């Protein structure tokens, strides 16, 4: 039976680029879950789904909700980029995060072994050495910015080691990932900044392309070489050249930015919630669950885009075919039907692992174990090395950079 869309329901209080909602979207999203759980935003031309149950179901329905538009740029290509690069496309369509079954299934099967718990845990010693090296660099100062000097430096170094990029090169990755999210998650961006973002993503692609060429010439023990050398049962390459390129970019990007936001936010949450801080100091076994709770309470990737492949009904609301749909992970992770006292930060929360911060079902993040390990070690190292760490004045509240998907904050100044 055909669904006829008449008047799309709206929820006008939702203003995702208003600074107040960038900093704290949860009160408005809570109202939406109660008053209008599924709604259309005409100014941005997408639909929003807010309830945990609906979002979790959608994540398991790739035939109805395609990921092919997950990272499509929402910003117009500047004229100077057209002149400079012609019709060159971004290295996105064949990334794991932007594919649907059966391609997604095949790619995930090829990529998942590198992220099995045993291989992830084997990296723990090196990650601990690296976090301690970072602390060595500033501990004598008795103060630091735990974002720029610590949290955001850890993930690029780890993912660089994973794909075979030197640390000095890998530290560029997070900036290039910012460029991707500028194109996909920001709206009101000056042309000069848009052009810079496009150039940044192309520079990212050029770097990875050269890395792949180097590994074809000289294979190494890294993920880039694994992708190149993967073969099917009949001996043919398991990944096409473009799939290798796009998915090395995918791994480098996914591992470089979001985990840094997770670590930064968890540090801030602990330093602004003294009972939680005292609890993890007294019982280090709580750190792992605190990572889950930080993913739930302050979700780094606040949502993901899907595109409907047919007319669908979500929560008794009809959504047309070809519509962009924003799945609000931030809202789902504060849904009181799943998380009791959802607006409280509780490092002992038994249900924290149910959060959708790493996706779910078909598109559950294959790097989740690695990200959680990095975050746990990052917190352990701070607790070990910086006794008495506390926020400097003015750091209790933070202001995020406006972005629909991945808002970030620049600094977290502390002393000890």
Percent of the chain whose pLDDT exceeds 90: 87
Helix (H, G, I), strand (E, B) or coil at 134: helix
Report if residue 5 sits inside a domain: no
Residue 3 has pLDDT above 70, yes or no: no
* Burial class of residue 328 in the structure, from the number of CB atoms within 10 Å of its CB (0-12 exposed, 13-18 middle, 19+ buried): buried
Determine the pLDDT at residue 259.
Answer: 95
Report if residue 89 sits inside a domain: yes
271-303 pLDDT, tens per residue? 999 999 999 999 999 999 999 999 999 999 999
> Based on the structure, what is the number of domains in the chain?
1
Report if residue 7 sits inside a domain: no
The residue assigned the tokens 């910086």 is 386
Residue 352 DSSP class: G
H/E run at residue 115 = none
**C-alpha R_g of the chain:** 21
Determine the pLDDT at residue 121.
Answer: 92
What stretches of 218-314 show up as alpha helix (H) in DSSP?
Answer: 223-229, 241-254, 258-272, 274-282, 286-297
Average pLDDT over the chain reads 94
Report the C-alpha gap between 70 and 90 in whole angstroms. 13
Report the C-alpha gap between 31 and 345 in whole angstroms. 19
Report the C-alpha gap between 306 and 302 in whole angstroms. 14
Report if residue 2 sits inside a domain: no
Report if residue 199 sits inside a domain: yes
Report if residue 294 sits inside a domain: yes
Q: What is the mean pLDDT of residues 78-82?
A: 93
Report if residue 281 sits inside a domain: yes
Report the C-alpha gap between 251 and 266 in whole angstroms. 23
Output the DSSP codes for 353-395.
GG--TT--GGG--TTHHHHHHHHHHHHHHHHHH-TT-EEPTT-
Determine the pLDDT at residue 133.
Answer: 98
For the record, the structure tokens of 229 come out as 């050398």
Domain range for 184: 19-415
Domain of 255, CATH number, reads 1.10.630.10
Report if residue 11 sits inside a domain: no
**Cβ 247 vs Cβ 94: under 8 Å:** yes
Q: What is the mean pLDDT of residues 9-29?
A: 97
Residue 2 binned pLDDT confidence (cut-offs 50, 70, 90): very low
Residue 6 has pLDDT above 70, yes or no: no
Minimum mean pLDDT range among 183-192, 196-205, 338-347: 183-192
């Amino acid at each position: 039976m055909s669904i006829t869309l008449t008047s799309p329901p709206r929820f006008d209080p939702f203003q995702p680029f208003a600074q107040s909602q960038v900093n704290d979207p949860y009160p408005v999203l809570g109202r939406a879950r109660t008053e209008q759980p599924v709604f259309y935003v005409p100014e941005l031309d997408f639909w929003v789904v807010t309830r945990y149950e609906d979002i979790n179901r959608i994540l398991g329905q790739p035939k109805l909700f395609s990921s092919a538009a997950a990272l499509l740029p929402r910003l117009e290509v500047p004229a100077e980029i057209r002149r400079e690069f012609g019709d060159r496309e971004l290295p996105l369509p064949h990334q794991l995060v932007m594919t649907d079954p059966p391609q997604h299934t095949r790619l995930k099967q090829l990529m998942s072994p590198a992220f099995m718990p045993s291989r992830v845990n084997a990296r723990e010693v090196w990650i601990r050495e690296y976090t301690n090296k970072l602390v060595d660099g500033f501990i004598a100062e008795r103060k630091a910015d735990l974002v720029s000097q610590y949290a955001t430096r850890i993930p690029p170094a780890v993912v660089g080691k994973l794909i075979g990029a030197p640390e000095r090169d890998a530290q560029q990755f997070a900036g290039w990932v910012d460029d991707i999210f500028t194109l996909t998650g920001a709206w009101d961006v000056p042309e000069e900044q848009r052009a810079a973002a496009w150039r940044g993503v192309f520079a990212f692609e050029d770097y990875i392309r050269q890395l792949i060429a180097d590994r074809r010439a000289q294979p190494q023990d890294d993920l880039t070489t694994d992708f190149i050398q993967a073969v099917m049962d009949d001996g043919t390459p398991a990944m096409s050249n473009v799939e290798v390129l796009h998915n090395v970019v995918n791994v480098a990007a996914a591992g470089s930015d979001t985990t840094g936001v997770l670590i930064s936010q968890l540090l801030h949450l602990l330093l602004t919630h003294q009972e939680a801080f005292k609890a993890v100091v007294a019982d280090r076994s709580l750190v792992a669950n605190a990572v889950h709770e930080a993913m739930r309470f302050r979700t780094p990737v606040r949502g993901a885009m899907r595109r409907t492949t047919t007319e669908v009904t979500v929560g008794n609301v009809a959504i047309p075919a070809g519509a962009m749909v924003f799945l609000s992970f931030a809202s789902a992770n504060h849904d009181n039907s799943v998380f009791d006292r959802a607006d409280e930060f509780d490092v002992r929360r038994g249900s924290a692992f149910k959060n959708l911060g790493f996706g779910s079902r078909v598109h559950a993040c294959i790097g989740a174990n690695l990200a959680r390990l990095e975050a746990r070690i990052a917190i352990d190292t701070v607790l070990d090395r910086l006794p008495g760490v506390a926020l400097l004045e003015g750091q209790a509240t933070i202001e995020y950079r406006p972005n629909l998907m991945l808002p970030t904050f620049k600094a977290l100044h502390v002393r000890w």
